[in-house]
Amino acid sequence: MSGIKLNFLINNDVLIIHTLSSMENHRFSSTKHKKDIVSFQNYAWRKSKSCYQLLVGRLSSEEIKNKNIQQICKKLPKFLKELEKSKQYRKILSQTKKYLNFCKNQWENNYHITSKYIKKFTGFKLNKKIDVFITHPSLKNGSNRNSNLIEWGHHEDWPNYTTVYLWNEILQFYIGRSDVEHAIVELIADEELRVRLNGGKYPPFVGHKWLEKYKKKILPCWKKYLKVEKHNINEFKKEMRAILCNKQET
């Protein structure tokens, strides 16, 4: 196998659970389809409050003590099947299927150029097959569950947003997830790749606000790193760890 191979999928259980657990306003990436999402959440709540709460991890200690959890667990498969068959869920599924096609097409259209950039920035060979479980585009989701599984869903905030953040998730497999490693991932994907695709400059930074302090400290070295002929991101990572640890000690 050569290159990154993404397999875009919809898993009904993953889609249902993620949609039901995204109740707070800050979990929405867009208000588009919010009415349909809330309608599905309300339908599930009416079907079974205890199953809903257990499914999304919302049962309190007191409720767990007073309820027969084993009995509720036995009801979950039937609860999920009923939700899957509902007209409310069919809307969510239809919207997510459309979004899956959008993500797949954007990724494939951008892959040739973006893979060249990523190989150049990192020195990696990038040979990996990854399943991507797509969730609803109006709800925030970006996570890598193990070495070959990503969950993704988000409104397209700017051009090539999906491509940039899929690379962000992929690079975490290769580079790591510590604060320094995550900051380097963001400099590669959220900043440099984004600007190469869309134009503009950085800073200002996009990405996680809590990583900006690391990106600001790393930035001068990062700019020098981009100018060298041969790139080795693992060596760069070691150097940045040493520099930042020394700064924190002094």
Q: What is the pLDDT of residues 73-123, one digit of tens each?
A: 889 999 999 999 999 999 999 999 999 999 999 999 999 999 999 999 999
- Within the chain, strands assigned E span 4-9, 128-134, 141-146, 149-153
Q: Is the peptide bond before 220 cis (omega within 30 degrees of 0)?
A: no
pTM, two decimals, is 0.92
Name the strands in the sheet holding 4-9, side by side, starting at the edge strand that comes first in the sequence.
Answer: 4-9, 128-134, 149-153, 141-146
- pLDDT tens digit string along 38-57? 999 999 999 999 899 988 98
